[in-house]
Amino acid sequence: MELTTLILKLFITIAVLVGSSEFTLTQQYVNIIILVGFVIALILHGQQTEATYRLDFVWKQQATEEKEDMEHLEAYNRKLLANILPVHVAEHFLNSPKNNDELYHEQCDFVCIMFASIPNFSEFYVELEGNNEGVECLRLLNEIIADFDELLSEEQFKYIEKIKSTGATYMAASGYRHVTAMADYALRLKELLEEVNEHSFNHFRIRIGINVGPVVAGVIGARKPQYDIWGNAVNVASRMDSTGICDKIQITSEVNQILQAKGYPTTCRGAIEVKGKGSMETFFLEGPSKSPTRPNITVNPLANSDSKISQFEKPMTTVLGTISEKN
């Protein structure tokens, strides 16, 4: 618009000069002036057009980059949330407008719960100047927990969900149809800790407890959501750990029935006193299944088809929560 106005003013000025009685230049000079003015106007128009195209290109580039940055940020946020909550729970909060005060919970009819602890890690942990005030001890614990997590990425353990690691205690859960996978996972944890001891010249010992039963899964909190499972079955699984024996996998009679039917060797420990439950008969899982083949079940691992829970069918995700006290 400014360029058009400039050209109009230029030609109007020339026309006024030509029509003026005081204008003494010949027609030849007038033509030259008009030609020069036209060329100047053409150059200015070309420069303005080029500048407009350049700005348009820059703006498009900036818009594209900003869009890509937003997509990357959204993907990062989704991935971060998936590391805090199970995938299906994260999708629930991302895709549905929910009030912060609304409680998210699901009833799970039958779940296998495992607690695995390293009871003598507290003896290993000391804060000295030589180990950076205990940081090196925590670094080794982090490596152990990370190795436990890495096992869950294997195909045979993809239906096991890590619930939380608190200190030197590791909590995981699976569906009813994957109790055997949990048993195999517990056995692998023992082997893995032996490898850690061999390479780190330590003598860590693991103690594992497994139970099955109904639980309630839910998310507590809005700004810092925590996913966890609650129920009597969780408490008993915790007691199977706390009342267990180092380097042993203690299981309840319900778990024993399932594993024995699948060919797993177990031995009866006998009756023990369990806080809140009284006398309970427990068993030790002694090794992997001796059955030549076991069915590879990939349907919903939770108890029945009416359950809406699906997180235990998905690959491992790191989730947060609070676990019941052991004593």
Residues 238-263 pLDDT 10s: 999 999 999 999 999 999 999 999 99
pTM of the model: 0.67
CATH classification for the domain delimited by 98-313, as one of 3.40.30.10, 2.60.40.180, 3.30.70.1230, 3.40.50.300: 3.30.70.1230
Q: What residue segments make up the domains of the chain, in order of their start?
A: 2-77, 98-313
Residue 75 amino acid letter: A
Residue 244 amino acid letter: G
For residues 109 and 204, is the Cβ–Cβ distance under 8 A? no
Name the active-site residue from 269, 275, 314, 326.
Answer: 275
Q: How far apart, in whole angstroms, are the C-alpha atoms of residue 286 and residue 104? A: 39
pLDDT class of 189 with cuts at 50, 70, 90? very high
Active site residue 275: yes
Active site residue 290: no
Q: Which residues of 40-50 are buried (b: 16+ CB within 10 A; e: fewer)?
A: ebeeeeeeeee
Q: How far apart, in whole angstroms, are the C-alpha atoms of residue 149 and residue 147? A: 5
pLDDT at 186: 97
Name the active-site residue from 162, 177, 207, 239.
Answer: 239
